[in-house]
Structure 1
Amino acid sequence: GQIAQIIGPVLDVAFPPGKMPNIYNALVVKGRDTVGQPINVTCEVQQLLGNSRVRAVAMSATDGLTRGMEVIDTGAPLSVPVGGATLGRIFNVLGEPVDNLGPVDTLTTSPIHKPAPAFIQLDTKLSIFETGIKVVDLLAPYRRGGKIGLFGGAGVGKTVLIMELINNIAKAHGGVSVFGGVGERTREGNDLYMEMKESGVINEQNIEESKVALVYGQMNEPPGARMRVGLTALTMAEYFRDVNEQDVLLFIDNIFRFVQAGSEVSALLGRMPSAVGYQPTLSTEMGSLQERITSTKEGSITSIQAVYVPADDLTDPAPATTFAHLDATTVLSRGLAAKGIYPAVDPLDSTSTMLQPRIVGEEHYETAQRVKQTLQRYKELQDIIAILGLDELSEEDRL
């Protein structure tokens, strides 16, 4: 095919009749720019326009592309490397290593677009995923193969909590983790990488012994990359679940940026926006990602997703759509972090569908409820103490 027009990160490509690529196929543009530098851009087909033209979204910058350049249809969706060789490495959305440690020695690749597991493959029994973090396990326990929303602004200890979880699943369950950085700061991605090396989650001497694979598509990437990088990370996690039959932790930071990138792409493709300017396919896109994160008979993917809430409005379509998929929420509170209480999990705001007597047992349930009552009472009394002082309280309240 040939490039017919370029609109920012979106390309229209004309193909000979009868040679049209399928939707979601990867196209590769190879050539030289005006200065003679080699160009290699991968795109993904999003729409068939008719007249033997397709509209594709680029996964990297489209600088230097010109009309008439040759485009090759790879005949398959984007495929990324999977398996043990991915551990300890950093990838971009195309599955190319970006950590300057040489190529990945694996021949196993997997396409990023797959159907979700069928009903008969799913594992339906409810079991708790023990994190080893006491406040979480007691008050808002995670579900094995469930999805957990992590709420908290900058600097309340999200990264440290994530490191702790990666360490614990490696030690207690022999499982591995995949971290997907979706549209967040590159600096934070770098900090996380450095901290992982320090704590031994990534083993520099023997890279195969590492416990985590990192996939980044940060803020500076075009929207096509940010929209697909979550799927790249998920595909790597699925391989560990389905083939290696392991319990996997999948971190997505930040799920809101996935929606945001989808909205940018949607506008570029000329779709009518829906509520608050989001894409009309918002819940479909979210569903196709979230439905693949689940427990099967082979293993489980437990997903922890940082959720950015725009302007703290929980009714905004992006967080509202995310909530529909979550089994538990962990809310990190700035007030607790300021007091130096870490992990700064707010015990009254965090919720879990797993906190039921028939799942965790009567004793656990009763204990959790009593803890919550005590904390709630303390919260009510705080105002009285602040205004009137401790002396005004009754004997039982002072305790």
Structure 2
Amino acid sequence: MSPDGPDWLSAARETLDRATLGPRVEHRGRVEEIGDGVALISGLSDVRLDEVLHFAGGQVGFARVLDPDRIGCVMLDSTTDVEAGDVVFGTGEVVNVPVGEALLGRVIDPLGRPLDGKGAIAPEARWPIERPAPSIIERDLVTEPVQTGIVVVDTLFALGRGQRELIVGDHSTGKTTLAVDALIAQRDSDMICIYVAVGQKTSSVRRAIDALQAQGNFERCIVLVAGSASAPGLQWIAPYAGMTMAEYFRDKGQHAIIVIDDLSKHAATHREIALLTRQSPGREAYPGDVFYIHARLLERAAKLSPERGGGSLTALPIAETDQGNLSAYIPTNLISITDGQIVLDQTLFHQGQKPAVDVGLSVSRVGGKTQAPVLRAAAGTLRLDYAQFLELEVFTRFGGMPDGRVRQQLTRGARIREALRQPQHQPIRLVDEVALMLAVQTGLLDDLDEPLVAGFRAGLPAALDRDAASAVDAIAGQGSLDDSTKAALLGAMTRLIDKLSADEPTP
């Protein structure tokens, strides 16, 4: 016997002593039917809802329908190698995802598997994708603002931390761009950003990721992707997985914002799965629980009370309409669940008014309480003035010469419209928004030619930093707009207007 013999023998004995001997229960079933991302399984009578099931070939699914004689399993992997008769094992665990700081700066799928080629992720824990929403007693009032850097949103439909604001509009009207711009604006804030792509084209997801990496603070972002080519099960769990990852930071007392792009495709996936598992269809073939699946998802966004740490989770779900029909089934459901909606109009978009926000149909049911006081003081009656301008503009198209007061309103309204235009992926600071609203409301832009307003807006940040640095610091630090601060801002903007007018070529 070799000198190492006794050591090897003692190690083997220790291993045998630690081994658990005796009978072992194994939940096993068989595939009866398989197709279109859904497997019907028999023999797993003890499986619970949303339990993870493992197939003999290594594939994974979860139990979605529990009938007395068989289980409807939604696949989370490809079904190419799964056949009728294959063995299926129950795990006793519900679908869960990794959470923690290690996910920041990563692109992952809904199960937490990396898609960015940066190696494996070592999570701090794994949490189930289905978690109860905070109770009323655990919530606090939504009073802290979320600065999106988008002028039309911050001035007219201000968002609060813990709010759920729906972004809704037709195809290709800038919904994703608006949401991504709101995430980019958090590059200097304390908010964690989560972007969830559900059923989106790869090119669309790539553009969103590139924008976040180029303009935002990607190291404080999580991008969760379940593209149009992904299994229906992955698309179905994606919003819930993203919400769980965001709740980790909320429950630690931090602040997070999640964009779900979009819930219309999620509802279509839910309908597909329901029909394949032979659930009873309802209106437009959606199952009866289509309202409930989105309600229980969005209710998890909340501002927690100080006793729970004071963290917040803000949700910006996206929904798509057909020909601007807000009364369709899914948009109506989501509007009734959320705390307001930002409606994007196709006509405005094609006219070049971007973001193409319809100020008449959009609303924030929390906004007045969360808007930064300094911005509220500067904006004043902006929304009313703009609404009156839009009505007057329609009437003046019929001809006739308006009187002096109406001409003044039309001039002011045109400047407001120009001020609300904004290039994509260029969110601006709070002080720039305040100055822009002051310029509009005080009539400073009335004498400036309309095409020059874009140049004024572009040159505003540098002009304020150069000529009104004390006012910039005062607004950033104290959030106040006293007479001296206002005078400094107006002075800097007057000099900028004079420069623009002097540089304008003579016709």
Q: TM tier, shorter chain?
A: 0.7 to 0.9
- Out of 110, 114, 122, the residue aligned to residue 131 of structure 2 is 114
Q: Equivalent residue for 1:207? A: none
Letter of the 2:68 counterpart: G
Letter of the 1:48 counterpart: L
Q: Equivalent residue for 1:12? A: 40
In the TM superposition, residue 308 of structure 1 has moved relative to its aligned partner by: 0.7
Contact 1:329 1:352 (8 Å CA) reproduced = yes
Contact 1:143 1:327 (8 Å CA) reproduced = no
Letter of the 1:377 counterpart: Q
1:205-216 → structure 2 map (5 Å cutoff): 210-216=219-225
Letter of the 1:179 counterpart: Y
Does residue 295 (structure 1) correspond to residue 313 (structure 2)? The answer is: no
Matched residues in 2 for 1:308 and 1:384: separation? 31
Matched residues in 2 for 1:380 and 1:14: separation? 64
- Out of 230, 235, 248, the residue aligned to residue 239 of structure 1 is 248
179-188 vs 55-64, which deviates more? 55-64
In the TM superposition, residue 307 of structure 1 has moved relative to its aligned partner by: 1.3
Q: Equivalent residue for 2:399? A: 388
Matched residues in 2 for 1:144 and 1:334: separation? 29
Does residue 220 (structure 1) correspond to residue 229 (structure 2)? The answer is: yes
Q: Which has the higher contact order (CA 8 A, sep 6+)?
A: 1
Name the one with the larger strand percent: 1
- Out of 279, 284, 301, the residue aligned to residue 276 of structure 1 is 284
1:148-163 → structure 2 map (5 Å cutoff): 148-163=165-180
Matched residues in 2 for 1:94 and 1:361: separation? 38
Does residue 3 (structure 1) correspond to residue 31 (structure 2)? The answer is: yes
1:230-269 → structure 2 map (5 Å cutoff): 230-243=239-252, 245-269=253-277
Q: Equivalent residue for 2:214? A: 198
Tell me the secondary structure at the aligned position of residue 23 of structure 1. Answer: coil
Does residue 306 (structure 1) correspond to residue 318 (structure 2)? The answer is: yes
69-78 vs 375-384, which deviates more? 375-384
Q: Percent identity?
A: 24
Q: Which runs of no fewer than 5 residues in structure 1 stay unpaired?
A: 32-39, 203-209
Matched residues in 2 for 1:120 and 1:227: separation? 30
Contact 1:128 1:354 (8 Å CA) reproduced = no
Matched residues in 2 for 1:27 and 1:16: separation? 10
Does residue 372 (structure 1) correspond to residue 380 (structure 2)? The answer is: no
Matched residues in 2 for 1:123 and 1:54: separation? 41
Shift of the 199–395 alpha-carbon distance from structure 1 to 2, 3 Å rule, reads: same
Q: Deviations over 1:80-108 (max 9, x none)?
A: 11111111111112221111211112242
In the TM superposition, residue 290 of structure 1 has moved relative to its aligned partner by: 1.4
Contact 2:170 2:322 (8 Å CA) reproduced = no
Matched residues in 1 for 2:351 and 2:324: separation? 22
- Out of 43, 48, 72, the residue aligned to residue 66 of structure 2 is 48
Contact 2:171 2:320 (8 Å CA) reproduced = no
Matched residues in 2 for 1:109 and 1:360: separation? 36
Contact 1:147 1:327 (8 Å CA) reproduced = yes
Matched residues in 2 for 1:361 and 1:249: separation? 18
* Count of paired positions: 376
The TM-score with structure 2 as length reference comes to 0.69
1:44-193 → structure 2 map (5 Å cutoff): 44-51=62-69, 53-172=70-189, 174-193=190-209
- Out of 41, 48, 54, the residue aligned to residue 28 of structure 1 is 54
Matched residues in 2 for 1:152 and 1:142: separation? 18
Matched residues in 1 for 2:371 and 2:194: separation? 28
Matched residues in 1 for 2:365 and 2:345: separation? 21
Contact 1:142 1:327 (8 Å CA) reproduced = no
Letter of the 1:110 counterpart: W
In the TM superposition, residue 122 of structure 1 has moved relative to its aligned partner by: 1.7
Contact 1:59 1:93 (8 Å CA) reproduced = no
Matched residues in 1 for 2:324 and 2:286: separation? 17
Q: Deviations over 1:232-272 (max 9, x none)?
A: 111100111113x2110000010111111111111111111
Matched residues in 2 for 1:177 and 1:361: separation? 21
Contact 2:98 2:124 (8 Å CA) reproduced = yes
Q: Equivalent residue for 2:361? A: 349
Q: Deviations over 1:132-183 (max 9, x none)?
A: 43322221111220111112344444344333322333413x1111111111
Letter of the 2:112 counterpart: G
Matched residues in 1 for 2:355 and 2:161: separation? 21
Tell me the secondary structure at the aligned position of residue 256 of structure 1. Answer: helix
Letter of the 1:13 counterpart: I
Q: Which runs of no fewer than 5 residues in structure 2 stay unpaired?
A: 1-27, 409-507
Q: Equivalent residue for 2:462? A: none
The TM-score with structure 1 as length reference comes to 0.86
Matched residues in 2 for 1:196 and 1:211: separation? 10
Shift of the 107–3 alpha-carbon distance from structure 1 to 2, 3 Å rule, reads: farther
Contact 1:81 1:109 (8 Å CA) reproduced = yes
Letter of the 1:108 counterpart: A
Name the one with the larger helix percent: 2
Matched residues in 1 for 2:299 and 2:53: separation? 26
Contact 2:171 2:321 (8 Å CA) reproduced = no
362-371 vs 147-156, which deviates more? 362-371
CA RMSD of aligned residues (A): 2.5
Shift of the 274–338 alpha-carbon distance from structure 1 to 2, 3 Å rule, reads: closer
Q: Equivalent residue for 1:37? A: none
